Structure 1
Amino acid sequence: MLDVHRLRILRELKHRGTLAAVAAAMAYAPSSISMQLSQLEDETGVTLLERVGRSVRLTAQAELLVSHTEVLLELMERAEADLAASSHAMTGTVRLATFQTVALALIPPALKQLRAEYPQLRVEVSQLEPEQALPGLVAHDFDLVIAHEYPGHPLPRLPQIEHQTLVRDRLHIAVPTEQGDRTLKLADLADHAWVMEPTGTPARRWCEAVCREAGFEPNVRYCSYDLLLHVKLVEAGEAVALLPDLVWAGAGPTVAQHRLAGPHNNRHIVAATRRGANGHPAVLAVRQALLEASATGR
């Protein structure tokens, strides 16, 4: 009989890449991780790891074991969800990761509602960009990830992850208020300085593509994940930007906004969960609270 705990260690190595990372994630000494994997090799009778320089990689047999381990873990999560659903009390911990805009606009009202309705439910929140949070969801570091999808740049659809759209977040051309008294098109901003998210992010790729469709290469002078900094630079007249509605967190905009032409002027705010945990009552409660916060706060 294969040991499930050792199988999980092998799976952790697949997702985290190094023995040191697995040891840190599971609060073990690296020597203990190596010993557990050696014992798993003895149980299976096959070689699971091979040396590549100073690191290791999984063999084909190890990859096969990991694929079966994914199924086992999903079944275990479904069992936990069914057990939780059979109880009348909403307890436990939901580990949530989200990006800045949602953290500011939706998390506080959602937490307030959850505290009133389910005082025994603990919600832990980490602020991370989707490209860091989604691998953590796969690795079981988080139970729920709130991410964004920009037009033409969908999130990767992994087989063990399910997605639900929470909000369609409209995107606008944002300029200083003194430019708000006339009709403005994106092409009118070809000579302006821009603030955008860093190179390689979905938001940056989308913004650049929209500008190129309008006939110009944007002069990106400022880069930041922080959309509040984007707002401040637009307020100061130092840059123009493409900003979503949620950045105002239910308050009125402090800069002039112009409608972005074309059909692709919304980003989607998406809730991502592992398939096994998707029906867990606590995960459903947190997701519902975020849905209600998005409906009342905009």
Structure 2
Amino acid sequence: MLSWDRMKIFAAVAEHGSVTRAAESLHLTGPGVSQHIRKLEKEAGTSLVEREGRSIRLTPAGRALATRASAMSALADAAEDDVASIDTAVTGALRVGAVASALRRLVVPALADLSRTYPLLRPEVVDGEGVDLLDRLQHRTLDLVVFESWDHRPATVPAGIEVHTLHAENVHLAVPADDRREVASLADEEASVWTVCPTGSDAHSALVHALREAGIEPTIRYEVSDYSTQLALVEAGLAVALVPDTARAKTAGVRYLPTEPAVTRSLRAASSTRIPAVGALLDALNSILSK
């Protein structure tokens, strides 16, 4: 079998017509190139070059092999260019996980912008709770995760994961429109019925911790992932809810009150890969938030 490394060297010898000039182009020594040619002749079972002073002349077999070697060298160079372009291009699959409250107003618009700019990008999206999405990120089944971290319940990020804080925001108490207070003291919410994201979610744990710190054991009757549905429950007078700014909606039957003490959360992006599509998505997310 003919060695590819020796074929590449032979292609350079055929191109330059000289062992010395071929060696210079390949950053090898002249004797080293000559040794490769002799081994290639042994592999081919025939003479490939004839010396004419300081230059060489290809034999008929050498000319035939040089044509193929040159084509192979050009193909290898093109393959290297293809790989290099893929490594710097925003293309292919981009697997994104996000908490529901970040999907509609943040992730979806960012992916829409990216898809228009990079038509060869193929986004895939799943929603879920931060702890589950970060676990999938750690196991390399997701490329980027947008998750939440509450001041009363900071998220735990696995080792080796790169984290970017996208946005820090206030969380307000959503109450029925006939509630005329200007500020809601959490310590005064002992009689309130709550709607919150399901048990196990960061939002659920944050609410429980915040109210317990205020001396209250919350009465939770409605566990709903979707903030729009939580607000429908508030508007109906069935519950109150802690709603982050990005999840607020203009609803006639709901008012949003700042809390005492204040409750805040941040949206963060975590990644375990540096593919260009991840960097492009981070830029798009920050662009959406800056508008």
TM-score, normalising length from structure 1?
0.64
2:267 corresponding residue in structure 1: 269
Residue 206 (str. 1) matches residue 209 (str. 2): no
Q: Secondary structure in 2 aligned to 1:231?
A: helix
What's 1:179 paired with? 179
Contact 1:194 1:239 in 2 (8 A): yes
Query: What letter matches 1:281 in structure 2?
Result: P
Instruction: Give how far 1:172 is off.
Output: 0.6
Report percent identity of matched pairs.
Answer: 33
Tell me what 2:122 maps to.
Answer: 122
2:193–2:220 CA contact under 8 A, matched in 1: yes
- Structure with larger Rg: 2
The answer to whether the aligner puts 1:287 opposite 2:282 as a matched pair is yes
Assess, with a 3 A threshold, how the Cα gap between structure 1 residues 188 and 159 changes in structure 2: closer, same or farther. closer
Match of 2:256 in 1: 257
Deviation, 1:159, is 2.1
- Does residue 150 (structure 1) correspond to residue 150 (structure 2)? The answer is yes
Residue of structure 2 equivalent to 1:100? 100
Q: Which residue of 2 aligns with 1:131?
A: 131
The whole-number CA distance in structure 2 between the counterparts of 1:185 and 1:262 is 7
Of structures 1 and 2, the one scoring higher in RCO (CA 8 A, sep 6+) is 1
Provide Cα deviations, 1:95-140, integer angstroms capped at 9, x if missing partner.
0011111111112321221122212212111112212211111111
* Distance in structure 2 (CA, Å) of the matches to 1:202 and 1:196: 10
RMSD: 2.1
Gap runs ≥5 in structure 2: 1-82
Amino acid of the structure 2 residue aligned with 1:288 = D
In structure 1, distance between residues paired with 2:152 and 2:182: 29
Paired amino acid for 1:139: H
Verify the 8 A CA contact 1:147 1:270 in the aligned structure 2.
Answer: yes
Letter in 2 for 1:268: S
Alpha-carbon separation, structure 1, partners of 2:158 and 2:131: 13
Cα contact 2:137–2:145 (8 A) shared by 1 = yes
Alignment length, in residue pairs? Answer: 208
TM-fit CA distance, 1:83 = 4.2
Residue aligned with 2:178, SS:
helix
SS, match of residue 260 in structure 2: coil
Deviation at 1:270, TM superposition (A): 0.8
In the TM superposition, what is the alpha-carbon distance from 1:155 to its structure 2 partner? 2.3
1:216 and 1:111 map into 2 onto residues whose CA distance is 41
Check the 8 A contact 1:84/1:281 in 2, yes or no: no
SS of 1:232's partner is helix
Q: Is the 8 Å Cα contact of residues 186 and 214 (structure 1) preserved in structure 2? A: yes
Report SS of the residue matched to 1:252: coil
Q: 1:293 is paired with a residue of what secondary structure? A: helix
Q: Are the equivalent residues in 1 in contact too, given 2:130–2:202 (CA < 8 A)?
A: no
1:1-298 counterparts in 2 under 5 A? 83=84, 87=88, 89-248=89-248, 252=250, 254=252, 255-262=254-261, 265-274=263-272, 277=273, 279-296=274-291
Q: Is the 8 A contact 2:170 2:244 kept in 1?
A: yes
Distance 2:161 2:184 in 1: 41
Which deviates the most, 175-184 or 120-129?
175-184
Distance 1:84 1:146, change over 3 A: farther
**Secondary structure class of the residue paired with 1:106:** helix
| 2:152–2:210 CA contact under 8 A, matched in 1 | no
Letter of the structure 1 residue corresponding to residue 117 of structure 2: E
Kept in 1, the 8 Å contact 2:152–2:209? The answer is: no
SS class of match (2:282): helix
Question: Do the aligned residues in 2 keep the contact of 1:96 with 1:125 (CA within 8 Å)?
Answer: yes
**Counterpart amino acid of residue 224 in structure 1:** V
Residue 257 of structure 2 aligns with an amino acid whose one-letter code is: H
Q: For residues 98 and 157 of structure 2, what CA distance do their matches in structure 1 show?
A: 18
